[in-house]
Amino acid sequence: MSDLRVVKMARILVDYSTAVKPGDRVMIEATTAAEPLVREVYQRVLERGGNPHLLLSLPDQEEIFFQAAGEDQLDFVPVFHKLAADTFDVRIRIYSETNTRLLSHVDPARQQRRQKAVSKIQAAVLERSAAGQFRWMSTQFPTQAYAMDADMGWHEYQDFVFRACHADEDTPDPVAYWRSVERAQAANIARIQGHDRVSVKGLNADLQLSIQGRTFLNSCGIHNLPDGEIYTGPVEDSVNGWVRFTYPAIYGGHSVEGVQLYFQNGQVVKATAEKNQEFLDQMLASDAGARYLGEFAIGTNFQIDRFTNNILYDEKIGGTFHMALGSSYLETGGKNHSAIHWDMICDLRRDSEIRVDGELFYKDGQFTE
Query: Mind listing the pLDDT tens digit for each residue in 86-108?
Result: 999 999 999 999 998 888 888 88
Cβ atoms within 10 Å of 180's Cβ, excluding its own: 13
Does 168 share its domain with 189?
no
Does 157 share its domain with 219?
no
Q: What is the chain's mean pLDDT, rounded?
A: 95
Q: What is the mean pLDDT of residues 70-85?
A: 94
Residue 9 half-sphere exposure toward CB, CA atoms < 13 A:
31
Instruction: Indicate the residue among 154, 172, 190 that finishes a domain.
Output: 172
pLDDT digits (tens, 9 = 90+) for 172-182: 999 999 999 99
Instruction: Indicate the residue among 147, 172, 197 that finishes a domain.
Output: 172
Q: Show the beta-strand stretches assigned E in 78-149.
A: 90-95, 135-140
- Contact predicate 62/107, CB 8 Å: no
pLDDT tops 70 at residue 368: yes
Strand, helix or coil at 326?
strand
Does 158 share its domain with 190?
no
Instruction: Indicate the residue among 172, 196, 224 that finishes a domain.
Output: 172
pLDDT tops 70 at residue 289: yes
pLDDT tops 90 at residue 274: yes
Give the pLDDT confidence score for residue 116 in this predicted structure: 87
Q: What is the tally of structural domains in the chain? A: 2
Q: What is the mean pLDDT of residues 3-7?
A: 95
Specify the DSSP class assigned to residue 287. Answer: S
Does 166 share its domain with 182?
no
Q: How far apart are CA 255 and CA 237, in angstroms?
A: 28
**Residue 237 pLDDT level (bands cut at 50, 70, 90):** very high
Does 353 share its domain with 210?
yes
Task: Write down the H helix ranges in 131-216.
Answer: 144-149, 154-165, 174-192
Give the pLDDT confidence score for residue 1 in this predicted structure: 59
Strands of 135-140's sheet, edge to edge? 51-57, 25-31, 90-95, 135-140, 224-225
Q: What is the CATH number of the domain that holds 54?
A: 3.40.1830.10
pLDDT tops 90 at residue 123: no
Query: Structural domain of residue 71, as residue ranges?
Result: 4-172
Residue type, 84: A
Does 204 share its domain with 344?
yes
Does 194 share its domain with 334?
yes
- Single out the residue of 322, 314, 313 nearest to residue 345, CA to CA: 322
Does 183 share its domain with 163?
no
Q: How far apart are CA 341 and CA 123, in angstroms?
A: 12
Backbone dihedral angles phi then psi of residue 180, each to the nearest 5 degrees: -70, -35
pLDDT digits (tens, 9 = 90+) for 138-190: 999 999 999 999 999 999 999 999 999 999 999 999 999 999 999 999 999 99
Give the pLDDT confidence score for residue 178 in this predicted structure: 96
Does 329 share its domain with 190?
yes
Give the pLDDT confidence score for residue 341 in this predicted structure: 94
Does 137 share its domain with 27?
yes
Does 189 share its domain with 233?
yes
Global pTM reads 0.85
Return left, alpha or beta for 41; rule: phi > 0 is left, psi -120 to 50 is alpha, else beta.
alpha
- Single out the residue of 79, 180, 88, 95 nearest to residue 135, CA to CA: 88
Residue type, 185: Q
pLDDT digits (tens, 9 = 90+) for 291-337: 999 999 999 999 999 999 999 999 999 999 999 999 998 889 999 99
Does 312 share its domain with 328?
yes
CA angle 186, 315, 182 (to 5 degrees): 20
- Contact predicate 148/105, CB 8 Å: no
Give the pLDDT confidence score for residue 253 in this predicted structure: 76
Cβ atoms within 10 Å of 245's Cβ, excluding its own: 23
